[in-house]
């Protein structure tokens, strides 16, 4: 959508606001975009996604308020109804399996007809109890171009502890139009027992000796004492308002293993070695082609996972790289919630009582932005993906 003014070419769009109501209840605001300022390169472009679950057959009223660069303003009312048409729903089922041990929810989309060869885009969306299950957001889009059976698994690693989530999936055509959704039967939730630092589909679990002994909200304020006044004036300046806190814990490869298994591939006998999930790294990733040499050496020297100094050292070096990298990470815990942070003042301390096989670390975490799906994509926490607009087979 674009703004145009045929009378005065220099009258550009400065900002706009969109509010959505059900037509029969104009006192109940369903969606408010807030004040959106136009882009300096395309100043007349109007681009806003309604982050609300619009229901089939319901009449809605949308109020569009705009302001020009010369401060002229107007509110336009639009009335419309939702009619689902054009794109069929997926011939598949969707399930969501909580994995509290690893702080994530596993999404499975499985075709109801294994013989069907699927081609096209699929978008996974989620909503939560934080918006009373009204606001749906895209969290993952994938494209099948080779004509194979639709059988897709994906982990949502940006969930917040203690929040209920619903998931759905739908087709997308080459224009991005959406089809009828399929969704899970009941909402799911995870309650995290540990602290997690997440980045690039990789997360570090702080399980042993976690520490967080201070939690501070930072504001810019000053004290002013005036002549003739018994008490000072306290002034708070600007919009500064962010959180900072110290964190720490013990670094050990044991934080990277779990006995959780995928029930879809459970064959009646639980084999820990085969079903063990590595959330941060693995021996095959660390050792590469030399893993067999290390395994043979450990067997000959009777070295177990409890006294494997070499692997602990190499695992710790992976943690060094992860913590020291100057990027934004997603901090998650049950008591503090989801916070986008950067780490500062990182320090490592060898544990003398364990012969320095293990180290602990401390760092200062500083909040840098709001924790939401848009920023998870922006900072590389979890890639949402895009739909393909040209698909051939």
Top mean-pLDDT range of 37-46, 149-158, 167-176: 149-158
The position carrying tokens 């990470």 is 329
Is the model's pLDDT at 392 over the cut of 70? no
CATH tag, 93-183: 2.60.40.10
Place 262 in a pLDDT band, splitting at 50, 70 and 90. very low
pLDDT value of residue 266: 38
CA distances from 130 to 30, 48, 113, 176 (A): 14, 21, 35, 27
First to last CA, the chain: 33
- Mean model confidence pLDDT for the chain: 85
Is the model's pLDDT at 267 over the cut of 50? no
The position carrying tokens 């200062």 is 364
Who wins on pLDDT, 78 or 85?
78
> What is the DSSP code (8-state) at residue 24?
T
Kindly list the domain boundaries of the chain, sorted by start residue: 13-81, 93-183, 197-378
Per DSSP, the three-state class of 148 is strand
């Amino acid at each position: 959508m674009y703004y145009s003014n045929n009378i005065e070419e220099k009258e550009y769009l400065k900002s706009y606001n969109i509010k959505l109501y059900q037509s029969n209840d104009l006192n109940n605001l369903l969606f408010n975009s807030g004040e959106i300022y136009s882009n300096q390169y395309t100043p007349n472009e109007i681009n806003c996604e309604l982050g609300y679950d619009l229901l089939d057959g319901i009449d809605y009223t949308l109020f569009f308020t705009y302001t020009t660069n010369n401060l002229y303003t107007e509110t336009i009312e639009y009335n419309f109804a939702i009619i689902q048409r054009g794109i069929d729903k997926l011939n598949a089922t969707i399930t969501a399996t909580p994995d509290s041990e690893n702080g994530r929810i596993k999404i499975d989309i499985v075709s109801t007809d294994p013989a069907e060869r699927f081609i096209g885009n699929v978008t996974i969306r989620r909503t939560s109890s934080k918006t009373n299950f009204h606001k749906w957001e895209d969290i993952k889009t994938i494209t099948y171009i080779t004509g194979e059976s639709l059988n897709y698994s994906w982990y949502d690693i940006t969930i917040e502890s203690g929040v209920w989530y619903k998931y759905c999936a739908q087709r997308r055509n080459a224009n991005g139009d959406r089809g009828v959704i399929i969704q899970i039967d009941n909402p799911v939730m995870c309650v995290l027992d540990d602290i997690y630092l997440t980045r690039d589909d990789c997360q570090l679990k702080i399980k042993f000796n976690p520490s967080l002994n201070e939690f501070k909200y930072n504001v810019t304020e000053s004290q002013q004492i005036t002549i003739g006044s018994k008490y000072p004036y306290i002034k708070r300046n600007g919009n500064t308002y962010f959180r900072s806190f110290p964190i720490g814990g013990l670094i050990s490869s044991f934080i990277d293993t779990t006995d959780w298994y995928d029930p879809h591939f459970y064959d009646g006998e639980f084999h820990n070695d085969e079903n063990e999930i590595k959330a941060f790294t693995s021996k095959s990733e660390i050792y590469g082609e030399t893993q067999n040499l290390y395994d043979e050496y450990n067997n000959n020297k009777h070295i177990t996972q409890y006294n494997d100094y070499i692997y602990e050292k190499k695992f710790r070096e992976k943690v060094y790289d992860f913590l020291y990298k100057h990027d934004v990470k997603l901090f998650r815990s049950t008591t503090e919630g989801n916070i986008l942070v950067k780490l500062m003042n990182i320090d490592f301390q060898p544990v003398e009582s364990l012969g320095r096989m293990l180290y602990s670390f401390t760092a200062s975490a500083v909040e840098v932005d709001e924790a939401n799906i848009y920023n998870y994509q922006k900072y590389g926490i979890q890639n949402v993906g895009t739909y393909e607009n040209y698909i051939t087979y």
